[in-house]
Amino acid sequence: MAAHSADNPPNERTKTPPPLPLLPIKETASIMMLNNDCLMSVFASLPDLRTEVAVSRVCKRFQAVCLAKWRYSHMYDEFDLERWRELLPCYEDLCYFIRLMQPYIRKMNVSSCLCTLLKDLDEMQIYVLPMVTSFYYDPDDIDCYPSDRSIQKMTYLLPNLRRLRLTTPIQGRYLSSFKQLQELHLYEDQHKDYELQQDYFDDVCTKLVNLKVLDIRLFDVISKLRLNNCVHALQNLTILKLNLASLKSVLHEVLDLPALKQLVVLLDTEWYIPALLNVDAFDHKIREVSEFYKIMERKARQIVGFAVDGYYMPLEPGWDADLPIWSHQKLQRLAICSWTHAEDYLERYTCMSNLRLLCLRNWTYLSDNVLLKFIESCPHLEHLDVSYCRQLTPNFVHCALNIMKRRQHSRFLDGYMQRLEPPLLIYYVLSGFEDYVESKKLKNSPDYKGYIVFMDDFPARSERGLSFVDRGYQFDFD
Amino acid sequence: MADTQKLVSLRTCDNVLHKVPEHLTLQMRTIRNLLSCKIFSDTDTVIPLPNVSSQMLEFVIKWCEAIGPGDKALGSMQLSTLLTATLPDLEESELVYDLMKAANYLEIESLLEATTQHVADEINNCNSLESVCELFGLENDIGPDDEEGEWW
């Protein structure tokens, strides 16, 4: 090894070389004869991330193999600083690991204070996470509201963010700097101290041309946000979720949005009540249904699904007798929840033979017979939500299975060798037959396999709780 | 008994022909897949093993005899014991690596697991980065610029 001159200081790494191993050259290189598959298998047998990080620092090749292992395992696609701190107690290891994974992290779910997290990243010299497309902020400490400055820093940190969800209140400044943003979700079913400022909201709508999903619902006060200045800019919007108060003045413009596929309306909890109203006659239900009917009339031809929360919507029996949807019969998704009237009027929907989803969550008087008529008439039904329907009996489950088996048999006779229809997913929490399903272990019953699957949760894309859609209504358009 | 035993011909990279009982070769997924092809189903056909030496194949056969049919899943202690019985000179790391490569090529899960676990245990016994480097006879070639993921 050449000696270093005094004015040319040696590199730190070569200054004090470790004693040369007294091994033949072949021996020193022997582990390098293993291919990457073998090395990956060796590293997969290491007990924890801490050891893997230590091994990855041995040489470039080990580093590349470890990095490939971390990337392709997808265990670290989601940035989770709290967990990573536990896995790598040594701060230097943690920084090294994050710097290596920096270009490959795809998601961030943050439950700690955002401001603190951004400071931590600053200290680690992590200034950009280019592949992160989804950010969800739901702090355990609910007072950790993101400041404008934090949002601004985030726009630099996450330049390619596509999906942003915040459960905390936010003023909205700098949101329009997420140039690639496609989804903005700001709804949370809890009180918020304030909502977006109107001018920042207008900015979001006009500057984010790729915006496809916008959820600006506000849970417990009348929303003051208006779309009047910006609705024209939402040309690519496919899903809009907002308060009735925000919709009222721009209903026609919203319904004219060219890409709109779903409209979800949250009824505001308060409304203008005439001063002369008798307090004894006050009804806590929201008496604002005119927009609901207007949408029905205006978009009848395009409506492929609708959902109403019967508890908050003052709909009377027979409300739907003259709806313009009957002549089109295009309904694929139907949800009428928390219904306390008789079930007679439900039967008319059995003519919608294209139904894929039927949600009758929390019906007081829903019987087996009506439901079986749907099973009989709607062969494409994939999701049936009857959670909280206490009057249903185990008999429904038997009969539904028989109908489906009979249908399959007739298909077989018609020459279809395989079952083509997917099984029916029944959401049955707290329904009248829940105990029966549990005690008879029907979830694993071979008899039901391929026909009925019993689900503990609610259908995907439905709100949790007693209704398919929180305190309002929803329309799906084709 | 031995006369009626079906044998499979394997030629190792050092050009040695081995006649191996078929039930042992069936534990090697690579061979098993080849035997299921028509061209290799004839027992007279010689299967070349360009990545396996004669010495390694003998170890592999010993392993397959010890582990029995089905390449069954064993605990790490059992695998370690079996590996010691198969490869007495485990200190010779090059032999372990060669056996690992053979196991990887022939797709013998249990042997691959045993050899990789053996090396992983050796790493675990190191208490510093330097000792890992020493274990493998490697020099750390990572510069400060290499401590960041590659960008594209």
Q: Which of A30, A46, A59 sits opposite B140 (nearest CB)?
A: A59
Confidence class for position B41, pLDDT limits 50, 70, 90: low
Give the pair of three-digit tokens for residue A419.
Answer: 């079952």
**What integer is the mean pLDDT of B128-145?**
84
Q: B-chain residues within 8 Å CB-CB of A93?
A: none
Please, what is the Cα angle at A451 between A450 and A453, to 5 degrees? 85
Confidence (pLDDT) at B51: 87
Q: Provide the 3-class DSSP secondary structure of residue B69.
A: coil
In chain A, residues with a C-beta closer than 8 Å to the C-beta of B117 are 45
Distance of CA B47 to the CA centre of its chain: 17
Interface check A18 vs B, CB under 8 A: yes
A58 with B133: Cβ contact below 8 A: yes
Check residue A430 and give left, alpha or beta (phi > 0: left; psi -120 to 50: alpha).
Answer: left
User: Which of residues 43 through 72 in chain B touch A, CB cutoff 8 A?
Assistant: none
- Per the prediction, chain B carries an average pLDDT of 83
Comparing C-alpha atoms, which of A57, A121, A40, A68 is closest to residue A93? Answer: A57
Closest residue of chain A to B141, computed from CA coordinates: A59
Distance CA A43, CA A59 (A): 14
∠ at Cα A242 (A238, A245), nearest 5°?
Answer: 140
Strand partners, A303: A477
Residue B149 touches partner A, C-beta closer than 8 Å = yes
> Smallest CA–CA separation between B38 and chain A, in Å?
29
Mutate to test the interface with B, among A27, A35, A59 (most CBs of B within 10 A): A59
Tell me if A58 and B134 make a contact (CB, 8 A cut-off).
no
Domain locations in chain B as residue ranges = 7-117
Query: Once rounded to an integer, what is the mean pLDDT over residues B53-61?
Result: 92
- What is the sign of the dihedral through the CA atoms of B23, B26, B31 and B32? positive
B-chain residues near A96 (CB < 8 A)? 147
* Radius of gyration in angstroms for the set of CA atoms belonging to chain A, rounded to a whole number: 29
Q: How many CA atoms lie within 13 A of A17 on its CB side?
A: 12
Amino acid at A231: V
Q: What is the dihedral of CA A45, A48, A54, A59, to 10 degrees?
A: 40
Q: Is the pLDDT of residue B151 over 60?
A: no
- Which of A307-332 are b and which e, b meaning 16 or more Cβ less than 10 Å from the residue's Cβ? bbbbbbbebeeebbeebebeeeebbb
| C-alpha to C-alpha distance for A432 and A353, rounded to whole angstroms | 26
C-alpha torsion angle, residues A192, A476, A331, A379 (rounded to 10): -80
Q: Which of A30, A55, A60 sits opposite B132 (nearest CB)?
A: A55
Residue of A nearest to B118 (CA): A42
Distance in Å, alpha carbon of B71 to nearest chain A alpha carbon: 18
Decide whether A106-272 matches A292-478 in CATH topology: yes
Chain A residues within an 8 Å CB radius of B141:
59-60
Decide if A195 contacts A204 (C-beta within 8 A). no
The domain B7-117 having CATH identifier 3.30.710.10: the answer here is: yes
- Would you call B142 helix, strand, or coil by DSSP? coil
Q: Where are the domains of chain A?
A: 106-272, 292-478
Tell me, what's the pLDDT at A279? Answer: 56
Q: What is the pLDDT of residue A216?
A: 95
**How close A412 gets to chain B, by Cα (Å)?**
35
Instruction: Write the burial class of residue A244 (CB in 10 Å: 0-12 exposed, 13-18 middle, 19+ buried).
Output: buried
CB pair distance less than 8 Å for A30 and B94: yes
Give residue A92's pLDDT: 93
By C-alpha distance, the chain B residue nearest A94 is B147
Place of tokens 């739907």: A320
Shortest distance between the Cα of A99 and any Cα of chain B, in A, equals: 5
The dihedral built from the CA positions of residue A42, A44, A49 and A53, taken in this order, carries a sign that is positive
Q: Tell me the backbone φ, ψ of residue B26, rounded to 5 degrees.
A: -70, -15
The single-letter code of the amino acid at A34 is: L
**Residue B77 contacts A where some CB pair is shorter than 8 Å:** no
DSSP element (H, E) containing B46: strand B46-49
Q: What is the ipTM of this complex?
A: 0.87
CA closest to B135 among chain A residues = A28
Give yes or no for A34 touching B (CB within 8 A): yes
Amino acid at A361: R
Length of chain B equals 152
Q: Are A304 and A478 spatial neighbours (Cβ–Cβ below 8 Å)?
A: yes
Per residue of chain A (478 residues), give pLDDT as tens: 333 333 444 444 334 444 444 444 444 458 888 999 999 999 999 999 999 999 999 999 999 999 999 999 999 999 999 999 999 999 999 999 999 999 999 999 999 999 999 999 999 999 999 999 999 999 988 778 999 999 999 999 999 999 999 999 999 999 999 999 999 999 988 888 889 999 999 999 999 999 999 999 998 888 899 999 999 999 999 999 999 999 999 999 999 999 999 999 998 876 555 555 565 555 555 557 889 989 998 998 899 999 999 888 878 777 888 888 887 788 999 999 999 888 888 888 988 999 999 999 999 999 999 999 999 999 999 999 999 999 999 999 999 999 999 888 777 776 665 556 789 999 999 999 999 999 999 999 999 998 999 999 999 889 988 999 988 999 999 9
Pair of tokens at residue A51: 């050891």
Collect all residues of chain B within an 8 Å Cβ-Cβ radius of residue A67. Answer: 149
Q: Cβ contacts of residue B8 below 8 Å, gap of 6+?
A: B19, B20, B21, B22, B25, B31, B35, B43, B47
Architecture of domain A292-478: Alpha-Beta Horseshoe (3.80)
Distance from CA of B44 to the nearest CA of A (A): 32
Q: Give the closest residue to A471 by CA, choosing from A195, A224, A214, A243.
A: A243
- Please give the class, per CATH, of domain A106-272: alpha beta
pLDDT given at position A390: 94
Residues 6+ apart with CB under 8 A from A267: A243, A244, A286, A288, A312, A313, A471, A472
Which of B94, B136, B146 is closest, CB to CB, to A63? B146
Q: Quick one: DSSP state of residue B140? A: -
Backbone φ and ψ for A163, nearest 5 degrees, come out as -130, 120
DSSP one-letter string for B81-124: HHHHHH-S-TT-HHHHHHHHHHHHHHT-HHHHHHHHHHHHHHHH
- For residues A394 and A436, is the Cβ–Cβ distance under 8 A? yes
CB contact under 8 A, B101 and A34: yes
Report chain B residues whose CB lies below 8 A from the CB of A32: 138
Chain A residues whose CB is inside 8 A of the B119 CB are: 31, 42, 45
Of residues B143 and A257, more confidently modeled: A257
Structure tokens at A305: 């699904």
Within the 84-143 window of chain B, which residues sit less than 8 Å (CB to CB) from chain A? 93-94, 97, 100-101, 104, 112-113, 116-117, 119-120, 123-124, 129-130, 132-134, 136-143
- Residue pair A178/A153 in contact (Cβ under 8 Å)? The answer is no
The two three-digit tokens of residue A295, written as one number: 């949408």
∠ CA B62-B66-B68, rounded to 5°? 120
What CA dihedral angle connects A26, A29, A30 and A33, to 10 degrees?
-120
pTM: 0.81
